[in-house]
Amino acid sequence: ALRNRASIDLKNNRRYLTYQRLSKNEYSPFLFATSLTIAGVGYQLLDNPSEAAAAPKIDYENVKKDIADLIEESSSKRGDGTSIGPTFVRLAWHTSGTYCKNTKTGGSNGATMRYEPEKSWGANAGLEISRNALEGIKQKYPQISYADLWTLAGSVAIQEMGGPVIKWRPGRSDSDKPTSVPDGRLPDADKGEIRNTINHVREIFSRMGFSDREMVALIGAHAVGRCHPEASGYWGPWTFAETTFSNEYFRLLVEGGPWTVKTTHNGAPWTGPTQFEDPSGAIMMLPSDMAMIWDKRFHAIVEEFAKNEDAFFKEFSTAWTKLIELGVKKSSNGGILAWFMSLFGF
């Protein structure tokens, strides 16, 4: 059965959805911080207060609006029910997911995907589309760092597609040098054997400091977007509503099967890498997605999120904010802003 949530409509009411949800009882530290900035209180992640004070002021609300407009415009131009929103999510994910908690290297700070070799890593194939799409906004707001812009674009896209409110904070800086971390820190879709694939998923996310529950929640972002053969070799969307952020990915993992190895495509033999498809052949799962139900610990969490979207949204929102702040220096005491935000549970 397909779920079509009419309130999630890229062509009509996306901005209304995002800003109405933010204006009700789901307080956003982003909006709260904006009001404090107006009152003369700075909002920053930088560890150097003097540097933050000297930085030009940026109207992040206008940046968010322009990102939302860009997503809506892309949907109108494509006219096929897709948009650039899921690719913004992937950009934010991949620029952040290189972090290692042991060496304190990698992460969203630096925006090093602008340079070789990172921008040509196999895992980042196709992301030049989203980077290029954001150039107009970067030119309009030259003070914003690429690192902030990319993570903000992913966060706005999640909300524009009906996902949870994201607690995004500025303060990332751009590096003038390429990354120093090796290729291979982002997750692969398949490691051959089932156990190897399960272990790989757990190792990749554990290296960043995530628990099993956080891992499963973040992988739930596969509710949106699709795989493109020219980028990854794989084909197809994970769900029937690829621009709607929901718990549908988990529901389909549990109820959408049986999931079988794909053997044909458009009447011809499938020659791509191993992937799985539902009985209709219209949606797919990667081996790393199947790991979510092959592993008992992952499976229990998938079952929970499949039944309870609110639980998924709550876990995802927290894990996403943690992800996009990996590698970012934070103020040691937080100052008056941190105190005010703590009063509201932020």
Residue with tokens 């499938």: 270
Cα distance between residue 228 and residue 110, in whole Å:
27
Provide the residue type at 330 as one letter.
Answer: K
Active-site residue among 93, 121, 150, 238? Answer: 238
Q: Which residues contact 192 (CB under 8 A, 6 or more apart)?
A: none
Q: Which residues contact 227 (CB under 8 A, 6 or more apart)?
A: 234, 235, 236, 237, 275, 284, 286
CA atoms within a 13 Å half-sphere pointing along the CA-CB vector of 303: 8
List 93, 94, 222, 320, catalytic entry: 94
**Stretch (H or E) spanning 340:** helix 335-343
Q: Do 293 and 276 touch, CB atoms closer than 8 A?
A: no
Q: Which amino acid is at 315?
A: E
- 94 is a catalytic site residue: yes
Catalytic residue flag (residue 299): no
Distance CA 335, CA 316 (A): 27
What span, in angstroms and rounded, lies between the C-alpha atoms of 140 and 132? 14
**What one-letter code names the amino acid at 260?**
T
Paired tokens of 304: 């929970």
Residues 6+ apart with CB under 8 A from 271: none
CA distance 8 to 75: 13
**Which phi and psi angles does 205 have, rounded to 5°?**
-75, -35
Cα of 288 vs its chain's centroid, Å: 17
Going from the C-alpha of 209 to that of each of 103, 212, 253, the distances in angstroms are 12, 10, 25
Active site residues: 94, 238
